Amino acid sequence: MLLSPRTNVQESIQIILALNRKSNEDPRKYGLFLNTPEADAQIPNDVSLVSIARLCKDGQKIVIRHTDFL
């Protein structure tokens, strides 16, 4: 997925849901997480996703999760 450096996490979640034909879902119920072998950390909604993706190291990935279960 190609994103602008200005695209924040909340906008990215909306794009992901639309691409997965879940645009009727409430994007506020989802979060993006930095996943590492040791632990996961939720990425704040107002942060640029591109800046986080550029900092990812081997073994790290960004995943979307439903936050109602956390």
Check residue 25 and give its pLDDT. Answer: 86
Whether 4 is covered by a domain: the verdict is no
Whether 3 is covered by a domain: the verdict is no
Whether 46 is covered by a domain: the verdict is yes
Q: Can you give the residue range of the structural domain that contains 35? A: 9-69
Residue ranges in the chain whose pLDDT is less than 50: none
30-39: list long-range contacts, CB under 8 Å, 24+ apart.
30/64, 30/65, 30/66, 30/67, 31/64, 31/65, 31/67, 31/70, 32/62, 32/63, 32/64, 32/65, 33/62, 33/63, 33/64, 33/65, 34/60, 34/61, 34/62, 35/60, 35/61, 35/62, 35/63, 36/60
Whether 23 is covered by a domain: the verdict is yes
Check residue 4 and give its pLDDT. Answer: 86
Domain count, the chain: 1
